[in-house]
Amino acid sequence: MRVLYLLNISNPDRLSADSGWIFADLLAPALADAGAEVTVAAPAAAGDARCGFHQTKVPGTKYRARFSADIDELVALIRAERPDAVVANQVEEAAAIRTALLEAGSDALLAGYCHYLPFSLTSGGQLLLDPSLNDAGLGRPVLLAFVAGLAACDRVMVHSSTAASWVSAAAARLTVDLGERLRVVPAPRDERLVRAPATAQPTSDAGAIGMYNHRLYAHFGTEQFVHLARDLASSSIIRLRVMDLFGQRRAERTGLDDSPEKMRDQLAALPHVQIVSDRGDRVRYKNLLAGARFGIAPFRPGCPWSMSVIDCQAMGLPVISPRLGWLAEHIDTELCFDTPAEAVALAERLAAEDEFHALHAKRAYASTADFAPALVAARYLEALS
């Protein structure tokens, strides 16, 4: 099977902070191992030497990535690659890609991978627009473009059961019936970040380190984490390590949303909170994770998946989490909390009780086993068949 993978990259200056690129970089070689011929069209190459690469422009903003597809370029690319399947990592572009397939005379299957949802659903079924995609009231046009993209796809792939439920519900409200086109295909874990839980870091005299390795956008619920960080930092046995994943960002990005810089400064001012950077180095990132005792999930309501949570769990780090979205689906219910007081109690148990920690370290590690790239690639190809 010849697969053309169309990938938008929102963080070309720090690829290690771009989950879409990391997933493609892990998945493309696994697809090649399974016998597929893969070409990645993106601003930066992903995969290995067996994978083809077509360089595309970096979109100036996240909105350009959704509303400025170059159909002439797509037609030329499709004619050159002659794919059996095209994967649109930016679902909002699927209608434009379908147009290009038509013009190119291609009968390739079009699959949309819902890497990021521009909405979430509350427990009561209320649809909420994602605030990160609602500048100048663009949230509803983005949602409409997303659902239009779903309608243009032959397959729709989502990370989780939670995402499948949300996508189906949003599509149905806008009169798009996904029928048998929907597939749950999780993202691959990074095998470089896998460690047996038996080697997990013990609590030292300085305290147990809790790792927060998520992007610091406001829409990730970072302000709620800042409040929790104050409570955790007051514990005599907890220390926090917070990842600065972005470093210095481009003006185009900070102009739209400077919350990561503001949140980072607020966290840096707290006692017992260490701001760290992996500098884009996966070995350094692994070592930073290895020095922690447990992880902390984000407070992001519309969370259909979290690469950073999987990174912690694959390293044998139990993750405490607010009871939200996919987090509540995936993380052990014993480690989910509803209040800051419950979160502090869980963190202190993981810090002080070796038996409790060992049990949840094993469960965390085991929860990622099905996300090995080879297994994910097999599910991917099955969805594309």
Share of the chain above pLDDT 90, in %: 80
What is the greatest pairwise CA distance in the chain? 67
Mean pLDDT of 101-109: 98
What mean pLDDT comes out for the span 179-186?
Answer: 96
**For residues 340 and 14, what is the distance between their CA atoms, to the nearest angstrom?**
32
Q: CA–CA distance from 199 to each of 80, 148, 192, 206, 370 (Å)? A: 49, 48, 15, 19, 21
**Strand pairing class (37-42; 52-55):** parallel
pLDDT at residue 62 is higher than 90 = no
For residues 199-212, average pLDDT: 73
Share the mean pLDDT of the chain.
92
Q: Lowest-pLDDT range, 156-165, 236-245, 330-339, 356-365?
A: 236-245
Backbone dihedral angles phi then psi of residue 155, each to the nearest 5 degrees = -135, 145
- Split at pLDDT 50, 70, 90, the class of 14 is confident
Q: How far apart are the first and last CA of the chain?
A: 9
Checking if the pLDDT of 284 tops 90, the result is yes
Looking at 42-56, 136-150, 205-219, 315-329, which range is the least confident one? 205-219
For residue 175, the SS3 value is coil
Average pLDDT estimate for 115-142: 92
Residue 274 contacts by C-beta under 8 Å, 6 or more apart in sequence? Answer: 239, 240, 241, 242
Per-residue model confidence (pLDDT) at position 358: 95
**Residue from 47, 38, 29, 21 nearest 116 by CA:** 21
β partners of residue 241: 211, 274
Residues 345-370 have a mean pLDDT of: 97
Q: Give the whole-angstrom CA distance, residue 92 versus residue 139.
A: 12
Over residues 183-189, mean pLDDT: 97
Task: Assess whether pLDDT exceeds 60 at residue 54.
Answer: yes
Residue 249, pLDDT > 60, answer no
Look at residue 276 in the predicted model and tell me its pLDDT: 94
Residue 80 in this model has a pLDDT that exceeds 80: yes
How much is the pLDDT for 205? 61
Both tokens of 231, joined, read: 């409570």
pLDDT-based confidence at residue 274 (cuts at 50, 70, 90): very high
pLDDT at residue number 256: 65
Q: Pinpoint the alpha helices (H) of the chain.
A: 19-33, 64-67, 71-81, 94-104, 139-152, 161-173, 222-233, 251-256, 259-268, 282-290, 307-314, 325-330, 340-352, 354-366, 373-384
Q: What is the pLDDT of residue 198?
A: 67
Q: How confident is the model over 273-289, as a mean pLDDT?
A: 93
- What is the identity of the amino acid at 382? E
Tell me: pLDDT of 262 over 60: yes
pLDDT, tens digit, 9 for 90 and up, residues 342-351: 999 999 999 9
Name the residue with higher pLDDT: 227 or 303.
227
Distance in angstroms (rounded) separating the CA atoms of residues 254 and 250: 6
Residue 233, C-beta contacts closer than 8 angstroms, at least 6 positions apart: 239, 240, 270, 271, 272, 273
Q: Which of 39, 40, 27 has its CA nearest to residue 374? A: 27
153 φ/ψ angles, rounded to the nearest 5 degrees: -90, 145
The yes-or-no verdict on residue 254 having pLDDT over 80 is no
